[in-house]
Chains A and B, each alone.
Chain A
Amino acid sequence: MMKIFGKVAAIVAGSALVATAAFAEDRKSYPAPKDHPLSEIISGYEFRTPETRALQDDDFENPAYILLDLGAELWSTADGAAGKSCASCHGDAAESMKGIGASFPKWSKERNKAITVEQQINICREEQMQADTWKWTKDPNMLGMTIFVKNQSRGMPIVLDNSPEMETVRKLGEEVYYTRYGQLDMSCANCHEDYYGNYIRADMLSQGQINGFPTYRLKWNGVGSTHRRFKGCMKNIRANPFKPQGEEFTALEAYMMYRAVGLPIETPSVRN
């Protein structure tokens, strides 16, 4: 944890001790590569209560499995004017989709931009299946298919595409991550880099990692996407969020994969 003390260091120190006491807890962590902003990489799972973790640990209890099952069904259901399903082109997802969730967003040469799993799904629907596209953040079909695709990488460590194009995308994402937004004038780093492991009201701050998305969130009483979460955090600081699946959030997602490098994919996770 990087905690910078101002002039008031001496006065603050007493209470900072209390604040950092939470770190004494035993959280499974992964080593960060050289020059990484975090000294250790920790999944959001480690910051949740035993009750919430238990819901994720048991596939039969995990409420997101309804959508995972929906995704599995849609995988081989033909849709659109071309009369094709995902399976028509990609066959067995356990083979063809393995590793996708651990490496996207990826650079698309044809489109000259980075694309997320969700965007790839809609590209396939539009161009290959000639089917309607799905809405980004709340459409159960989109959530189900994204979960199904990413779930094929469950347990696989996040890896990075080191192409110069993706480096440039991550640079933009990094800028978004460290910029203060909103009336409360905070950056993602303020909460998730400087203060993870500490309570903010009733919430124990995590590193804000994205390895479990789409996630079932008790507060949402449903499943939500990575970009829905980004949007929620921006709204909490009273900022005008970027558009889901727009350039900034896609870049932010790409950068967050760098912050999560080595962390195993958990999709679908359960959070409070």
Chain B
Amino acid sequence: MPDLSINFAGIKAPNPFWLASGPPTNSGYQVMKAFDAGWGGAVWKTLGVPVINVSSRYGSINYRNTRMAGFTNIELITDRPLSDNLKEIEEVKKYFPNHAVIASLMVETKAEWHQIIKDSENAGVDGIELNFGCPHGMCERGMGSAVGQEPSVLKTIVEWVMEVAQVPVITKLTPNISHIVEPGLAAAKGGTDAISLINTIKSIVGIDLDTFVPYPVVGDKGTNGGYCGPAVKPIALEMLKELAKHPEIKHLPLSGIGGIETWRDAVEFILLGAGSLQVCTAAMHYGFGIVREMIAGLEQFMVEKNFETIEDFKGKALPNVTEWKHLDMNHKVIAQIDSSKCIGCELCYVACDDGAHQAIQLSETIGVRVPEVIEENCVGCNLCALVCPVEQCITMVDVTTNPTEVTWEEKTEAGKVPTTFDDDLAGGKHHYVPTVEDALKFRK
């Protein structure tokens, strides 16, 4: 069996699956249940001066029959007294000495930071996480994302923390910023031991069409929330990659957060450099038991790929993420439709004809609904394969004829790229487009 245990910036855990700071880590009761269910660690719901919350607090995007494809909240940090939280942290550590308990913290003044770090350490936490992320409520009071959006302030607070912290410090970043490297660099320069990302995305998840109030509805008003859940994963992966590849940040352990629900998501985050994984929405949706699928799947993946530890494949996808200008322009794939699997929905046809490159035609035989790929027109965009509802029916086949790689950068250097509006080198110059008359042939 592969070894799932991790040592993240000095924080040890039996596996990389941690509960992210949020409603599931609001109490010792929940965290103990979670550890019992298999979670390797938990970042406690953010501690600070307790708040008063509103009702209601959550909203979601239901994509067709999929509930909570995206999720939002306007809940603030802990509304429980600090001493209650610390007492429960101490208890959890007594029962689960080998699991990671990390205190998420958010306060204002230097004195408060120093005090709450000392208190958390006394309670026995294995690490602390600085919450510079919440994009609702707390930011209006100069905390949360208000800090994360101001790299110089962020750096100063990290420095305050590093003056006193005895346990590893993770700085949690907000994605509500134009370039994640800026707060990432500020955290690194401030001396943080690790970075976690992403916190939630500032969002309005929907509007009640009868009352015109945004969700989640609080009386006759609403406010922007923090968006998370499966829908935000691609944004999180991109930002993780930015930090994992940055020469002045990549030495720091990175904890991946954002839409992790299955083992596949977990592996993706690890492949882009995450050394631990934080999950909130999936636990809120399915309960702590969801970790069974993640652990079993991660283990099976490692067995099949012959990886013994998480470190064996951490960051393995990073060398393969490059800039557009370094992509091979001679690589060519085209779509292939398996007529034995096709069910004749013709979604690929209409997607290609209306939404892409007019490279799929309907069959001319009456009664046959299997479309045909016009190979010379197919640019290999993937759209038909993406819309096809049948597994493995449309596949993209490699038809590269020139095996020599050539990139945009190289083409530019060789003077082989279009430079004028009607340049002969235009990539789509010989691409067949049906006539304007064809567009209107069914017009009544």
A binds B: no
B residues adjacent to A (C-beta < 8 A): none
A residues adjacent to B (C-beta < 8 A): none
